[in-house]
């Protein structure tokens, strides 16, 4: 059973080192809509039987949520134990994303492959292939080979990215210029310290993005290695039955295809050895031209919202003085009040009055294959007694007119 809010606050005060006497007025009644004269209830007693917390739906939801959380904790503990077996030093990037298994399908795929194959996704060592005398008993299908080669090529490309971006980030070098669309009025009149703050924020943003990209690309590299191992393992399992022979054959194809991909990749791609200590960052600040040229700051400003008034002044069509300024202010304030009043009255009308005030508009509907639209016929309305031409009311019959109006409105509302 979920604790009541007052009990939760009591526990919170105990954990925070506060006494029960600090805020006794915070204890709420069990009623959903408590009256001002409701009596306080003892927080040590459980909620009454008719309290919503004791309803079957709440108890069911509580039980299901507690079961789900316990299963999630159990799953997390299993994943930690599994990863510690193959990576006791926690060098893999999956440790940063382990809690997102239920929210990210890539994280789930990573962990599922590790659990199924118990394979450590590290850089393959081609020297192991040189020391091996194993020869497979069948040839791998070409489509499987192409998938594995593409994954290994992407792995090598990601490895080059991680090396370069990590080196730049460690050297505090920014690799790109972030673009922002943020309009600031009178940008050229801002103090110089504001632009320094903008530059620091840009640089911190770029460095943070570079660090996140390095960690994310490390995960992608490991995932590609895991996918390749799974592809080869599944393909070999279709051909062989012996477990030891399956493992040896999978390792053979894994190392062979990686070695061939490695040689081909570095033959076709030029890899630069970048010395980041000799490079400059690409993130630069943007300042007004007068600051770049060390000239005088601007003394005149321009605003499109002032064009109408300035043109009238230039053409001698108006003369601004105290009387005109205050008169315009009073007129403007009156218009604002009228607008606010009309708007509040419009919002206060109920839905029935709103429906009555609407005019029925003819609908446009397609007619025939040419999609020719025409106005649909509207049924004639019933004659309104208020507008009966045969009935003439003068000033002496104002009371009778009011009665007719009231009767018509009541009939329209169904009263």
Question: In percent, how much of the chain has pLDDT > 70?
Answer: 67
pLDDT score of 40: 40
SS3 126: coil
With respect to residue 172, please indicate whether it lies within any of the assigned structural domains. Answer: yes
Bridge partner residues of 375 (DSSP): 364
DSSP string, 232-267: HHHHHHTT---HHHHHHHHHHHHHHHHHHHHHHHHH
- 65 & 132 share domain: no
CB 72 within 8 A of CB 64: no
Question: In the structure, what pLDDT confidence band is assigned to residue 349 with cuts at 50, 70 and 90?
Answer: low
Q: What pLDDT is recorded for position 128?
A: 81
> Which residues lie below 8 Å from residue 78, measured CB to CB, with a gap of 6+?
none
More confident: 239 or 371: 239
In percent, the amount of the chain with pLDDT more than 90 equals 33
pTM score, whole prediction: 0.61
Q: Specify if 383 maps to a domain.
A: yes
Residues 188, 194: Cα–Cα separation, whole Å? 11
In terms of domains, do 237 and 178 share one? yes
The answer for 414, left when phi > 0, alpha when psi is -120 to 50, beta otherwise, is left
The pLDDT score that the predictor gives to residue 190 is: 92
Residues 257 and 339 in one domain: no
Do the domain assignments include residue 36?
Answer: yes
Task: Band the pLDDT of 50: cuts 50, 70, 90.
Answer: low
For 305, which DSSP code?
A: G
* Radius of gyration of the chain from its Cα atoms, rounded to whole angstroms: 39
Residue 260 pLDDT grade (very low, low, confident, very high; cuts 50, 70, 90): very high
Q: If pLDDT is split at 50, 70 and 90, which confidence band does 169 have?
A: very high
- What pLDDT score was predicted for residue 54? 52
Residues of the domain holding 275: 119-290
Whether the CB-CB separation of 318 and 324 falls below 8 Å is answered with yes
User: b/e per residue, 173-184, with b = 16+ CB within 10 A?
Assistant: bbbeeeeeeeee
- The answer to whether residues 61 and 183 belong to one domain is no
107 domain-assigned: no
Interior CA angle at 128 toward 125 and 133, to 5°?
155
CA distance 49 to 51: 6
Q: Identify which has the larger pLDDT, 368 or 208.
A: 208
In 238-358, which ranges are continuous DSSP H helix?
Answer: 243-268, 289-292, 307-314, 322-348, 351-357
Which of 258, 290, 322 finishes a domain?
290
Q: Is residue 9 pLDDT above 50, yes or no?
A: no
**pLDDT confidence bin for 49, thresholds 50/70/90:** low
- Do 150 and 238 share a structural domain? yes
Residues 257, 150 share a domain: yes
291-317 pLDDT per residue, tens: 888 899 988 888 888 888 888 888 988
Asked whether residue 23 is assigned to any structural domain, the reply reads yes
Stretch among 9-13, 145-149, 294-298 having the lowest mean pLDDT:
9-13
Q: Which helix (H) or strand (E) holds 217?
A: helix 192-237
Domain shared by 213 and 132, yes or no: yes
**Average pLDDT of span 126-148:** 88
CA-nearest of 212, 214, 222, 91 to 151 is 222
Q: Which of 240, 264, 290 is the last residue of a domain?
A: 290
> Which residues lie across from 342 on neighbouring strands?
none
pLDDT for position 158: 94
Residue 218 resides in a domain: yes
CB neighbours (10 Å) of residue 237? 13
Q: How many folded domains does the chain comprise?
A: 4
Residue 71 predicted with pLDDT over 80? no
Residue 215: HSE in the Cβ half-sphere, 13 Å Cα cutoff? 11
- Pair 85, 114: CB distance under 8 Å: no
Taking residues 327-339, report their average pLDDT: 91
Residue 98 lies in a domain: no
**CA–CA–CA angle 306, 310, 312 (5° rounding):** 125
Q: Are residues 394 and 320 in the same domain?
A: no
Distance CA 307, CA 51 (A): 65
242 and 144: one domain? yes
Residue 22 reports pLDDT greater than 50: no
Predicted pLDDT of residue 94: 92
Please check the confidence at residue 339 and state whether its pLDDT lies above 50. Answer: yes
Q: What is the pLDDT of residues 194-244, one digit of tens each?
A: 999 999 999 999 999 999 999 999 999 999 999 999 999 999 999 888 888
Residues 277 and 67: their CA atoms lie apart, in Å, by 54
Task: Say what the pLDDT of residue 251 is.
Answer: 92
Task: Tell me the pLDDT band of 388, cut-offs 50, 70 and 90.
Answer: very low
Confidence of residue 382 (pLDDT cuts 50, 70, 90): low
Q: Residue 105: in which H helix or E strand, if any?
A: helix 105-117
Whether 269 and 148 map to the same domain: the answer is: yes
- Residue 131 is assigned to a structural domain of this protein: yes
pLDDT value, residue 366: 55
- pLDDT of the residue at 354: 45
The strand pairing partners of 367, in sequence order, are: 372
Cβ burial 345-358 (10 Å sphere, 16+ → b, else e): eeeeeeeeeeeeee
- CB contact burial 139-150 (16+ within 10 A = b; e otherwise): ebeeebbebbbe
Specify whether 172 is located in the same domain as 255.
yes
Residues 182 and 212 in one domain: yes
Q: List the one residue out of 332, 107, 308, 331 whose CA is nearest residue 220.
A: 107
Residue 150 has pLDDT above 70, yes or no: yes
């Amino acid at each position: 059973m979920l604790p009541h809010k007052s009990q939760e606050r009591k526990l919170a005060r105990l954990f925070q080192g506060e006494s029960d006497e600090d805020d006794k007025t915070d204890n709420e009644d069990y009623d959903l809509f408590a009256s001002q004269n409701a009596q306080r209830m003892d927080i040590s007693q459980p909620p009454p039987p008719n309290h919503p917390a004791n309803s079957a739906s709440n108890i069911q939801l509580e039980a299901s949520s507690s079961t789900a959380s316990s299963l999630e904790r159990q799953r997390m503990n299993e994943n930690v134990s599994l990863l510690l077996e193959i990576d006791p030093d926690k060098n893999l990037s999956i440790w940063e994303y382990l809690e997102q298994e239920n929210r990210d399908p890539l994280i789930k795929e990573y962990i599922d492959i590790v659990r199924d194959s118990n394979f450590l996704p590290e850089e393959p060592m081609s020297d192991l292939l040189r020391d091996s005398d194993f020869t497979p008993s069948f040839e791998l299908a070409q489509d499987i080979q192409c998938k594995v080669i593409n994954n290994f090529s992407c792995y090598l490309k990601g490895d080059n990215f991680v090396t370069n971006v990590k080196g730049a980030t460690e050297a505090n070098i920014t690799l790109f210029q972030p673009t922002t669309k943020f309009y600031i009025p009178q940008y050229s009149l801002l103090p110089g310290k504001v632009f320094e703050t903008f530059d620091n924020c840009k640089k911190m943003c770029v460095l943070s993005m570079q660090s996140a990209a390095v960690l994310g690309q490390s995960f992608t590299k490991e995932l590609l290695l895991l996918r390749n191992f799974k592809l080869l393992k599944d393909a070999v399992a279709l051909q062989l039955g012996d477990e030891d022979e399956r493992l040896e054959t999978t390792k053979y194809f894994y190392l062979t295809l990686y070695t061939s991909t490695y040689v081909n990749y570095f033959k076709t791609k030029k890899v630069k050895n970048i010395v980041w200590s000799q490079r400059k960052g690409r993130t630069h600040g943007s300042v007004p031209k007068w600051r770049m040229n060390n000239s005088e700051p601007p003394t005149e400003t321009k605003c499109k919202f002032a064009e109408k008034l300035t043109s009238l002044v230039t053409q001698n069509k108006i003369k601004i003085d105290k009387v005109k300024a205050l008169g315009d202010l009073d007129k403007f304030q009156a218009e604002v009040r009228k607008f606010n009043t009309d708007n509040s009255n419009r919002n206060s009308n109920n839905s029935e009055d709103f429906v009555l005030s609407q005019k029925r508009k003819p609908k446009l509907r397609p007619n025939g294959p040419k999609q020719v639209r025409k106005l649909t016929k509207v049924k004639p309305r019933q004659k309104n007694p208020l507008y009966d031409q045969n009935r003439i009311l003068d000033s002496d019959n104002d009371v009778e007119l009011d009665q007719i109006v009231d009767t018509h409105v009541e009939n329209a509302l169904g009263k």
